[in-house]
Amino acid sequence: MPMSFIKRKILDLYRYNVQPRVEALHAEQIFQGIFQDQCRQRGIDEPFYPVGAAAGYSLMYLLVRALSELPIKDVLELGSGQTTILIDRLRGMEGTHVTYEQSELWAASVSRRAPRCQLIHSPLVERSSKGVTHRGFEQLIPTDFDLLLVDGPNGTDHASRYDCVQLVEANRKSEFIIIVDDADRPGERETLQSLADVLRRRGIDFKLNYVSGRTTQAVITTPGMRAASYFF
């Protein structure tokens, strides 16, 4: 086998498998620095630990900018954790912050640190929506939102976190932003396609972008929230 062929294969392996991950981790460090500066400027001294299964710095950075710079009053969140606490510290006195969480113990723990959030513990059930079977929150109640953050429940290989599709269908607001965490996974990509289909059927002008750090987020914006598409 020619040496040039082997070298080309090694370069391709690096270019398509190693380099993107290295660049994403470098971006995570940049987002970390910006996020920590943002917190200092806003007097937020809450300890955050974006490691493991927790929200990464790219997501935390997005939330700070969105809540600081966009006309967001009503926040709807699937899955709770450090993002819930951050939103609780950042959002204004007006509006609502509703969060659904599958774990009763985790919901109680987060609720103590996010006193202004309406945190709803809801077990998961298997449900079907327009022929799509998925695991979703048992007590999910559609609520109008300016910001929808999709970071729960636990991801699946098929129709992951599909509850968000129902919420977008029911949202009566014409301007909003949707952030879907772990957007590089197959189950979330499938759900993102369903979200795009719903928005097209509703005739909503939207833009979809991706930002990657330790994890990948999909950011969907309408014209009134379009600035968020250029935060990264």
Whole-number pLDDT of residue 55:
85
Dihedral of CA atoms 224, 225, 231, 232 in degrees, nearest 10, equals: -110
Using alpha carbons, select from 31, 37, 65, 66 the residue that is nearest to residue 50.
31
DSSP assignment, residue 93?
Answer: S
| DSSP annotation string for 14-76 | IIIIIHHHHHHHHHHHHHHHHHHHHHHHTT--------TTSPPHHHHHHHHHHHHHS----EE
d(CA 153, CA 135): 8
Q: Please report, for the chain, the start and end positions of each structural domain, with discontinuous segments joined by +.
A: 3-230
pTM over 0.75: yes
Whole-number pLDDT of residue 46:
83
Predicted confidence band of residue 48 (pLDDT cuts 50, 70, 90): confident
Superfamily of domain 3-230: Vaccinia Virus protein VP39 (3.40.50.150)
Q: What is the mean pLDDT of residues 94-119?
A: 97
User: To the nearest whole number, what is the mean pLDDT of the chain?
Assistant: 91
CB atoms within 10 A of CB 150: 30
Q: b or e along 124-145 (b: 16 or more beta carbons within 10 Å of the residue's beta carbon)?
A: beebeeeeeebbbbeebeebeb
Q: What angle do CA 121, 115, 101 make, to 5 degrees?
A: 20
Q: What is the mean pLDDT of residues 48-52?
A: 76
d(CA 134, CA 29): 35
Whole-number pLDDT of residue 6:
61
Predicted confidence band of residue 131 (pLDDT cuts 50, 70, 90): confident
The model's pLDDT over 191-209, given as tens digits with 9 standing for 90+, comes to: 999 999 999 999 999 999 9
Contact 146, 174 (CB under 8 A): no
Tokens 């910001």 correspond to: 147
Whole-number pLDDT of residue 33:
93
